[in-house]
Structure 1
Amino acid sequence: MPTTYLLTGCANGIGRHMARVFYNQGHHVVATDIDVVGLATLTADWDQTRVLTLPLDVRSTASWQAVIDQTLTRFGRVDVGLNIAGVVHVGYAAEFNPADVDLVVDVNLKGVILGTRLMAAQMVKQGGGQIINIASLAGVAPIQGLSLYSATKFAVRGFSLAAAGELRKQGVQVSVVCPDLVDTNMLTAQIDHPEAALSFSGGRILTVQDVERAIVRDAIQHRKLEVLIPTSRGWLGKVGNLFPALSFSITDLLRKKGLKEQAVWQATRKNTAGNITLNK
């Protein structure tokens, strides 16, 4: 019997890739996004008996409830929900404006909380399910230059771990996945901003396939509570949290490394016309 997957942020990036993965596995897919044009290009040639594409503003309870209701009408249940939709804002704490705060907090945090709340309630009624929330390694170790984004991802991670404890005896598994920088539009949004240099200071930039393997293998098959991608960098961030002031001493070195990596990506993303090529 096919599993019903409900995903947010499916117009591009990780969400788009994972929707295609689950569809290709033969499951029912509810693909949502505020960008309905992007959704249409994803599912145009899919078997429409197995897919439901719906507009969703993750900041809105009413929008979420409409998606849940239509999913139940079509497929009868929500087996696995993935809160993937997110936005990034580059800038320092003394510089971003209140509108930036509202957008990033509402999409990245409020959207995950609302989605978890409504999907969890349905899963409890139906006797079980799994919710996978996408946080970030920026929610494990604070990233200067992305302080607003980092704050929301710390909150998503904390909320997910707490919700996992609350829901586990009711048959609902909650997992939180924390990837390093991934080659999606979020990378493109940071590529020309030196403030985001620390994002590029790790090792290899992740691909959506890296995130796919972690979600499918670690979160879904092994039902891990927390998934760090890569594990080594995630644990390094956790150790750094034990001595946060000491991490400042290596920030300048990491920033220099990140700036060099940014320059490489800037060069590779320039097409022959000199434009930035977006990766969706």
Structure 2
Amino acid sequence: MGRLDGKVAIVTGGAQGQGAGIARAYVAEGARTLIADIAKDEGQALADELGPDAHFVHHDVSDAASWTAVVEDVNTRFGPVSILANNAGILRFGDIERHGADEVELLWRINQLGCFLGMQAVTRTMRKNGGGSIINASSVEGLAGMAGCTAYAATKWAIRGMTKCAAMELGPKGIRVNSVHPGMIDTPMTRVHGGDAAMEFGASRIPLRRVGHPEDVAPLYVFLGSDESAYINGAEIAIDGGVTSTHAFGG
């Protein structure tokens, strides 16, 4: 315990699923944590559960003005932000021939633009206060491909690339930027696409023969937010039960 003592964190998409797991772990390890999400009821309930070291704000990651307000809020409430868990994202499947442009654009706005705006919003504070850690949520679909996933994968590959560039640009300012690439994690975002049957099918393709859970992912976010990872910058870390160990995982 206490691995994040003195840290101030923002977790986007923090109201449920993987984000909620990260927020719980951050508070447990000593970070004062701002939970940012569009899900008001779930986000406020989580902040109430976690106590005075957590606070919820309604936040649209695709809106630059909303990002400005979030960073001002956390800097005033808890102190200068030192960790950004850029976790918010959506998942949509669609064949190339039939995937509507409006849904493709929505994926881009939330997953890719939201990630960029988050990095942009926290950089000034982190630079002025000696550095920080930005952790961008990509996916195993940001490491390879999968049929029916072109638009989603495009955003996750973009996050991987943005992370590399940001690590080079912001590293001299003391800001580390890394990407995390989860495999199939049992969350509301993934369960909506097939429920138990999808989880069972996913597990059958993973070397560990199970899907992941938020509790499997959160410790990596703790490590990357802590000073234990002080020399890790520009890395891409898969947390997927071994699925990317085979070239055929996109199948």
Q: TM-score range by the shorter chain?
A: 0.7 to 0.9
Per-residue Cα deviation, 1:217-254 (whole angstroms, up to 9, x for no partner): 36643353221113743354xxx4xxxxxx6xx97xx4
After TM superposition, list the pairs within 5 Å mapping 1:71-220 onto structure 2: 71-191=74-194, 201-203=205-207, 204-217=210-223, 220=226
Per-residue deviation at 1:43? 1.6
Q: TM-score under structure 2 normalisation?
A: 0.87
AA of the residue aligned to 1:170: K
What is the letter of the counterpart of residue 240 of structure 2?
P
Unaligned runs of 5+ in 2: none
Percent identity of paired positions between Structure 1 and Structure 2: 29
Residue matched to 1:234: 244
**Shift, 1:186, TM fit:** 2.2
- The residue that corresponds to 1:17 in the other structure is 21
Q: 1:117 to 1:198 in 2, by over 3 A?
A: farther
The reply on whether 1:27 has 2:31 as its aligned counterpart is yes
What are the superposed Cα offsets for residues 249-274 of structure 1, whole Å, 9 maximum, x if unpaired? x97xx4xxxxxxxxxxxxxxxxxxxx
SS in 1 for 2:190: helix
- Map of 1:57 onto structure 2: 60
* Residue of structure 1 equivalent to 2:8: 4
Aligned residue pair count = 240
Partner of 1:222: 229
The two structures have a TM-score, normalised by structure 1, of 0.78
Mapped contact 1:90–1:196 kept (Cα < 8 A):
no
Q: Is the 8 A contact 2:89 2:110 kept in 1?
A: yes
The 1:5/1:37 distance shift into structure 2, 3 A limit, reads same
Relative to its length, the structure with more helix (as a share) is: 1
Note the residue ranges of structure 1 that are not aligned, 5 or more in a row. Answer: 241-246, 255-280
Return closer, same or farther for 1:184/1:45 CA change in 2, 3 Å cut-off.
Answer: closer
State which structure, 1 or 2, has the greater radius of gyration over its C-alpha atoms. Answer: 1
Change (3 A) 1:190 1:28: same
The structure whose RCO (Cα within 8 Å, separation 6+) is larger is: 2
> Moved runs in structure 1, 4+ residues, more than 4 A?
194-200
